Structures are given as C-alpha cells and as structure tokens.
Amino acid sequence: MKSVHKWLLLLATAVIITAASFVIIFLPPDEDVPFREASLREYSATLPDFSGSRGEEADIPDRSAILNSLSDQHTSASEWGERVSGVKNRHDTEEKVIALTFDACGGPTGNGVDEELLSFLTDYGIPATLFMNYRWIEDHEDRFLELADNPLFTIENHGTAHLPLSVEGRTAWGIEGTASPEEVVDEVLINQEHIASLTGKAPSHFRSGTAYYDEQAVKIVEMAGLTAVNYDVLGDAGATYSAAQVESALLESRPGSIVLLHMNQPSSGTAEGVKQAVPQLLDAGYTFVHLGDYPLTE
C-alpha cells in the first residue's frame, strides 16, 4: 500500500506541475485587454463607497447630476471604434513635441509593473502620461502614490473595469462593453473618484479599456468633466510588439503625436524599444510633453 501511495503522490505532483506549466506557457502575456470578469454592475457592487472621500481640490460632477442630464439621444449610437467623433488623437501643434502615454490596464493578465521602463523615464527625466485603471491602482496603491507624487508623470483615467465604452453593450476584441449610459457613467466616474480620493486631483483625460468607444459614450465622458483621448502612434500594439517593432513605431512620430504604450507588461518589448527610440527622437530635435500641454485635436 505504501508504494501505491507513493506512486499516487508522484502522479498528483506530475499532474500539478504539468497544469502549472500549461498556465504559464499559454496564458496570453500581452493582453492590452483584460477579461471582462463580471458585468460592470456586479463589479461596482464589490467596490467601496467613495462618496464623501473626494480630494479637496478635485472637481468632479455629481453622479446623480450626470444621470439626470442623460436623455434619449444617449441611448443609441451610430459610431463604434477607436476613431470616433469627439475622441482626440493628437496635439494640434507643429512643434516637435511627443506625448508618451502608458496604460496600466490591471486585471488577471494586465497587472504587472514595468519597473525597467519606469526607471528609464525617471533616470532620464522623460515626462509621461499614465492612464491608470482602477484594478491596477487597487493592487499597487503604494507604487501608484509614488508615481502620482512624481511631477514627471501625470495620472489619467483608464476606467474602472477596463471595458469598451458603449451605451448599448457593443463588443471589442471579444470583450463585452458597458451596456447602458448609466454603466458608462460608472465605468468613468468610479475610477475618477478613486484617483481623486487618493491624490486630491481629478484626471482630465480618459482612455477606455481597448480604446473603443461610441460617440454617445464620448459625450458622457465629457459630461463627467473629461476628454476622451486615444493615439496617432500605436507604440506597442497591446504590448505584443518586439523591442525593434516598438522602436520603429516610435520613430514614426511626428510633431504633436500621441503614442500609446503600456507600463503593465514587464516581459514585453516595450521598455527596450522605448529605450532605443527616445535618444534618437531627442537627437532629431523632439521633446516629450504631458498630454494636454497643447490643444488636442482629432
């Protein structure tokens, strides 16, 4: 019997090791787009109540005021995608300035911290704009507060449950978006109030999870006091690019470009590609600015 137990134990160990390797090897390492774990309403129900905890300086429209100003026009949309009326993609300038924006998506496959990238930016004083998702902030609150405290970085809103922003449940990359104007309000406002409660400052720019919107959802973002911003340079394609691909994408920047990259995938080519491209862009006469330092345009 003893040897049977030993064999059973060995077999169980082998099964566990095989299963673990499978998970490590086959989990997508490069999702910009974490899963929708639950409907937004279920998700929000698990969150703490932020009312009354807003930062002193933050000016955030009241949730009920926004809900009261919603009308029938907000319930159905005609556009859907990354290029949608009202979403800004560039700075309106001929000056040789580039805004590097890094998303921190959070969630099961988006929860890393690219410290190599952050060290590079801080060591060389490269300003950057960080789009932070509620879940990432929740899991890295100390690191979030350090970054928010560093004048090199500005903190912006990357949503609460990282959902495509739809007033009618449209889907992007297999992820079901917010299903109503009310869910759009929560996806934007819960993280907005969370960031303000931690930093005392409300973000002024919003990027949805997956960067998809409809034009009515964009109007609701504006009602919440934010501007929806995507990009004109796809810097790392959801952190799937190799370092060489990131480098050549960045070198396509032009005056006023907004580059979309990620700071939550340390095993990606993003940090190395940024390190290769930034010195070349500086040599070419570019400087780096924060989002909103110049007027934004579609």
Judged by beta carbon, residue 229 or residue 281, the one nearer Zn ion is: 229
Contact range with Zn ion by CB under 5 A, out of 68-76, 97-105, 165-173, 228-236: 97-105
> Nearest distance from residue 125's CB to Zn ion, in Å?
26
Judged by beta carbon, residue 36 or residue 74, the one nearer Zn ion is: 36
Cα–Cα distance measured from residue 229 to residue 167, given in angstroms and rounded to the nearest whole number: 18
Q: What is the DSSP letter of 48?
A: P
Judged by beta carbon, residue 105 or residue 118, the one nearer Zn ion is: 105
Contact range with Zn ion by CB under 5 A, out of 45-53, 102-110, 216-224, 268-276: 102-110
Contact range with Zn ion by CB under 5 A, out of 19-27, 63-71, 100-108, 289-297: 100-108
Q: Which residues contact 37 (CB under 8 A, 6 or more apart)?
A: 43, 107, 108, 161
Cα–Cα distance measured from residue 294 to residue 88, given in angstroms and rounded to the nearest whole number: 12
> Nearest distance from residue 178's CB to Zn ion, in Å?
15
CB 218, CB 84: distance < 8 Å: yes
Longest Cα–Cα distance in the chain? 80
Contact range with Zn ion by CB under 5 A, out of 74-82, 92-100, 105-113, 116-124: 105-113
Cα–Cα distance measured from residue 171 to residue 177, given in angstroms and rounded to the nearest whole number: 5
Judged by beta carbon, residue 32 or residue 236, the one nearer Zn ion is: 32
Residue 103 found at the interface with Zn ion (CB under 5 A): yes
Per-residue contact flags (x/-) with Zn ion for residues 6 to 45, judged by CB under 5 A: --------------------------x-------------
Among 97, 98, 105, 263, binds Zn ion (CB under 5 A): 105
CA atoms within 13 A on the CB side of 226: 34
Q: What is the 3-state secondary structure (H, E, C) of 91-157?
A: ECCCCCEEEEEEEECCCCCCCCCCHHHHHHHHHCCCCEEEEECHHHHHHCHHHHHHHHHCCCEEEEE
Residue 217 found at the interface with Zn ion (CB under 5 A): no
> Nearest distance from residue 157's CB to Zn ion, in Å?
11
The strand pair at 287-288 and 97-104 is best described as: parallel
Residue 223 found at the interface with Zn ion (CB under 5 A): no
> Nearest distance from residue 35's CB to Zn ion, in Å?
12
Judged by beta carbon, residue 32 or residue 214, the one nearer Zn ion is: 32
**108's tokens:** 């099961």
Residue nearest Zn ion, Cβ-based: 105
The residue ranges that bind Zn ion (CB under 5 A) are 32, 103, 105
